[in-house]
Structure 1
């Protein structure tokens, strides 16, 4: 097998230590192998950097399992050509498995150019990715707290949710805030806090607020309400930070906003997860597979069998599915017609993935050509 790299190293990264195998070769093609173990403390990582430089290492490779590779990558980035490998694609042959053998196996694969690089975004995109993922987590927590308040109200036989479509709208929030402050709501409070469009339901709203709310349930509502206010303030601060980081990608942001169903928060997620340089993906099909929206392929002896969908980046996949649902509810887009035609034959889940697959390939084309989206013209 051809040798592509003469000075390379394989790293087997763990929580407390890193096993490094350095492979170097001289002009007479003799291979020198040296294995060394380093702790994962910051000082030790700089010692690892110095040791690799002394060995004149130019390329290193390590697995992308967990989060333990990140501090190593952050320190070694810029000094070496780093290959972050998919752990499933560089599994060692069955047998005696040790940290030393894993590091040596990674180094040998890298030496012969048999490791495909995983996509690692730039530092500013990694920061944006952390923020968008945190926002998604906090939105989930916010929804959980709202559901918890709705549950306590139902348990105490307060039927506000049956009268008002959204108890966390303007009028609902005023009533809940009054409930948290006073512990009860009378008819005068209802008249003073409901929106003008709900005044015709004032009697029904007042009756729905008559329940059996005790001190324990009121305490539960107060706790959730305070948490909701904290989360909403935190999410607002987070979104301002995201907008600040997105200022460097205004052109790409405007292009993505032209796609049906794509809003500003979705744009932030898309840019954070896949970046803006589409040259890192060989084609739109590769990007769709990386995102996990491509159908599986299982063919043998000329027969195609059922296959599971490929697993990819769950964050971009969920964002694409949200876009696909938004497209399905629109009326003036060609992709909406495709969705409902597919859902009639294959079901909504398969139609949803098909639209998500189409959207990610559109994103690839728009970003690589720097052109906004335009609806295709129908023939005739």
Structure 2
């Protein structure tokens, strides 16, 4: 069966005209009653695609208009003027697109100060989970999908968008981290140039004397031995200490006969200059961040409270404060730990719960800071504190892999930080041990009527401690821990038997 091409073409034009007439009729609002509007914005580096949808009295959602604006100051003014005629509005919904959504978000806040609660920037992953339209993906379809999604309040989960001052503070500390990474790259390039001439010793440029030695190697022609002697003579003339240099002299003796070529010395000179410049920039960024933190009374209090936690240094505390922003927006510690990225994804199917991998679509800087602090605890730092004992229990006793033990400690650390920041509590590093000791004494008092140990139990404790000290060379950390646990049970048993014996003697005397 054949079809005439002109006939099919006329059918297409009538369909397009009917769609155009439907859009014009809905935009005029003459045939249907519009209750409210929904606005979806697909923000890009250069363009902003805006789609306006309407909800009718029959609870139908129809597309009203789609328009494209330029993403610059004049385009933002045109955008706000365009949206003023669509009132009342359910939400202005957009995706968090790195840094491009911030000017649009703040422009809408300035244009509609009474509707700040309705301006929503949402996680792109959550947006695309809610939108199930199949077909070709393009900017217009994304904006229309977000315009329709703006009517469903329960599906909208706004992301945190801080003030411009907060973003400047956060970017300052992030620039410090980027500068430190750049400095490490220059150190690796310096090592690569030295390895090309068979000089395999790696310089630690954080030590001033090694940096001076590298400077003498670059400036002195001839073998490295000559540069070493020149540095020793210069240090003696300037009355500087050479103890560190002489202590590590044996590390450089195998390379004394190596002579750096002219091209290698030129490359090393440029790399050292770039390294020093990167280190200077990093120090300035860090100093500026701390100054801004100390100017704010609330941030200063949080900064000092975080420094009370063992293994939390200045850079880690600054990272936590600058990455969190408004930390009171979290409902509980679980939401806080999930935002920090130290909680595994939980999947449930048919009543079976399984823990998956760590959610990596979270704040990477916070997860890195907490993981680095947790690594110190797992590696044995701050012994005797609650977190160190918890880390020892996870790594040594439960024999968890290193990364799993680190995540467990990081999760517990996130709970502590939440209590310190949100509930304004002062951290006590031995709180859990003190609490357990008091509870143990109270149980002993309620059960036996005294908190003191008997003379027999004290002598038994002395014998056990002497046994552990004299045979410590035969024990590992794990075996020592289990022996101590077993001896503690023995002491508790002896204490209870002694008290039971005194009760029996008192009953016999009464009889």
Of 370, 375, 383, the match for 1:331: 383
Once residues 158 and 313 of structure 2 are traced to their aligned partners in structure 1, the CA distance between those partners, rounded to angstroms, is: 31
The residue aligned with 1:115 is 156
Q: Across the two proteins, how many residue pairs are aligned to each other?
A: 372
Q: For residue 122 of structure 1, report the CA deviation from its aligned partner.
A: 2.4
Once residues 86 and 351 of structure 2 are traced to their aligned partners in structure 1, the CA distance between those partners, rounded to angstroms, is: 50
Q: For residue 46 of structure 1, report the CA deviation from its aligned partner.
A: 1.3
Once residues 149 and 86 of structure 1 are traced to their aligned partners in structure 2, the CA distance between those partners, rounded to angstroms, is: 41
Identify, as 1 or 2, the structure richer in helix: 2
Q: TM-score w.r.t. structure 2 length?
A: 0.67
CA-to-aligned-CA distance 1:298-326 (integer Å, 9 cap, x gap): 23223233522212111111111111123
Once residues 88 and 305 of structure 1 are traced to their aligned partners in structure 2, the CA distance between those partners, rounded to angstroms, is: 22
Once residues 30 and 299 of structure 1 are traced to their aligned partners in structure 2, the CA distance between those partners, rounded to angstroms, is: 34
Of 47, 55, 79, the match for 1:48: 79
CA-to-aligned-CA distance 1:225-247 (integer Å, 9 cap, x gap): 01011112211221222122212
Q: For residue 221 of structure 1, report the CA deviation from its aligned partner.
A: 0.9
The residue aligned with 2:274 is 227
Q: For residue 172 of structure 1, report the CA deviation from its aligned partner.
A: 0.5
Structure-to-structure mapping, 1:1-380, within 5 angstroms: 6-24=36-54, 33-56=64-87, 59-78=91-110, 79=112, 80-81=115-116, 82-91=119-128, 92-96=131-135, 97-113=137-153, 114-158=155-199, 160-161=201-202, 166-183=204-221, 185-193=227-235, 195-198=241-244, 200-201=246-247, 204=250, 207=253, 208-247=255-294, 248=296, 249-275=299-325, 277-305=326-354, 307-311=356-360, 312-328=362-378, 329-344=381-396, 345-375=399-429, 376-378=431-433, 379-380=436-437
Which is bigger in relative contact order (C-alpha 8 A, separation at least 6)? 1
Q: For residue 362 of structure 1, report the CA deviation from its aligned partner.
A: 1.3
The residue aligned with 2:491 is none
SS in 2 for 1:22: strand
Once residues 234 and 199 of structure 1 are traced to their aligned partners in structure 2, the CA distance between those partners, rounded to angstroms, is: 28
SS in 1 for 2:322: helix
**Gap change, CA 1:69 and 1:199, over 3 Å in 2:** closer
**Gap change, CA 1:54 and 1:351, over 3 Å in 2:** same
Q: For residue 35 of structure 1, report the CA deviation from its aligned partner.
A: 2.4
Q: For residue 157 of structure 1, report the CA deviation from its aligned partner.
A: 3.3
SS in 1 for 2:194: helix
CA RMSD, 1 decimal: 2.5
CA-to-aligned-CA distance 1:268-322 (integer Å, 9 cap, x gap): 21111112x3331111111111221101212322323352221211111111111
Once residues 204 and 154 of structure 1 are traced to their aligned partners in structure 2, the CA distance between those partners, rounded to angstroms, is: 18
Q: For residue 24 of structure 1, report the CA deviation from its aligned partner.
A: 4.8
**Gap change, CA 1:94 and 1:196, over 3 Å in 2:** same
Q: TM-score w.r.t. structure 1 length?
A: 0.89
Once residues 371 and 186 of structure 2 are traced to their aligned partners in structure 1, the CA distance between those partners, rounded to angstroms, is: 24
SS in 1 for 2:120: strand
CA-to-aligned-CA distance 1:150-174 (integer Å, 9 cap, x gap): 232233233554xx7x354021011
Once residues 220 and 112 of structure 1 are traced to their aligned partners in structure 2, the CA distance between those partners, rounded to angstroms, is: 61
SS in 2 for 1:20: strand
Q: For residue 205 of structure 1, report the CA deviation from its aligned partner.
A: 5.8
**Gap change, CA 1:287 and 1:203, over 3 Å in 2:** closer
114-123 or 63-72: bigger deviation = 63-72
**Gap change, CA 1:327 and 1:112, over 3 Å in 2:** same
Once residues 202 and 69 of structure 1 are traced to their aligned partners in structure 2, the CA distance between those partners, rounded to angstroms, is: 54
Kindly name which structure, 1 or 2, has the bigger radius of gyration based on alpha carbons. 2
**Residue segments in structure 1 that go unaligned for 5+ positions in a row:** none
217-226 or 63-72: bigger deviation = 63-72
